[in-house]
């Protein structure tokens, strides 16, 4: 994997995030904050989880530790605050990715799981994991948005490629 491939995957990631966030603007505050049966709750909780994962992994990539504070749903009482944080995370991750080179992609990242188990991962695997993680939870957000009559439409990678212009 090279940095150009990673950058393309992150372009997709932010394209898909923007489609979800654009539809979130159209739901009521009650719908945005309502609980749901998904692992991170409703729409707000699911999106905050996506942002928390990106923030946590980015901080780990940069600092080689997991000391970044967890983003909590209660810290984002409004959609405007979620949007603001999403914009910040995108900007910060793009800045991090901009300094990476092909030779960085195979660097080893060592850490321990919450249960204490050791992990040895390659950077590009971690970067890809983060986008794939977002895909899982965007699908949950898309299901909720669709229930509220605000489907984000197709989020497939190929749909992104159809409109992608480098």
Asked if the model's pLDDT at residue 116 lies above 90, the reply is no
Separation between Cα atoms, residue 44 and residue 74, nearest integer Å? 9
The predicted model gives 62-68 an average pLDDT of 89
Q: Is 40 within 8 Å of 46 (Cβ atoms)?
A: yes
H or E element at residue 125:
helix 123-147
Banded pLDDT at 41 (limits 50, 70, 90):
very high
Number of domains in the chain: 1
For 17, the domain range is 3-116+123-163
Q: What is the mean pLDDT of residues 85-112?
A: 97
Domain of 110, CATH number, reads 1.20.120.450
Judged against a pLDDT cut of 90, whether residue 126 lies above it is answered with: yes
Q: Which two tokens mark 69? A: 């504070």
Q: Look at residue 14 in the predicted model and tell me its pLDDT.
A: 98
What is the reported pLDDT for 113? 83
The CB-side HSE value for 155 (13 A sphere, CA atoms) comes to: 27
């Amino acid at each position: 994997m090279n940095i150009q491939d990673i950058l393309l995957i992150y372009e997709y990631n932010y394209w898909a995030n923007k489609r979800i966030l654009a539809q979130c603007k159209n739901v009521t505050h009650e719908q945005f904050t309502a609980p749901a049966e998904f692992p991170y709750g409703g729409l707000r909780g699911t999106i905050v989880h996506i942002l928390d994962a990106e923030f946590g992994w980015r901080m780990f990539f940069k600092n080689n530790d997991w000391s970044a504070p967890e983003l909590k749903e209660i810290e984002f009482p409004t959609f405007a605050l979620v949007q603001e944080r999403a914009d910040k995370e995108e900007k910060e991750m793009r800045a991090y990715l901009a300094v990476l080179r092909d030779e960085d992609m195979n660097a080893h990242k060592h850490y321990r799981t919450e249960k204490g188990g050791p992990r040895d991962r390659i950077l590009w695997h971690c970067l890809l994991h983060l986008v794939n993680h977002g895909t899982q939870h965007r699908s949950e957000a898309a299901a909720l948005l669709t229930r509220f009559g605000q489907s984000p439409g197709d989020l497939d990678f190929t749909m992104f490629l159809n409109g992608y212009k480098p």
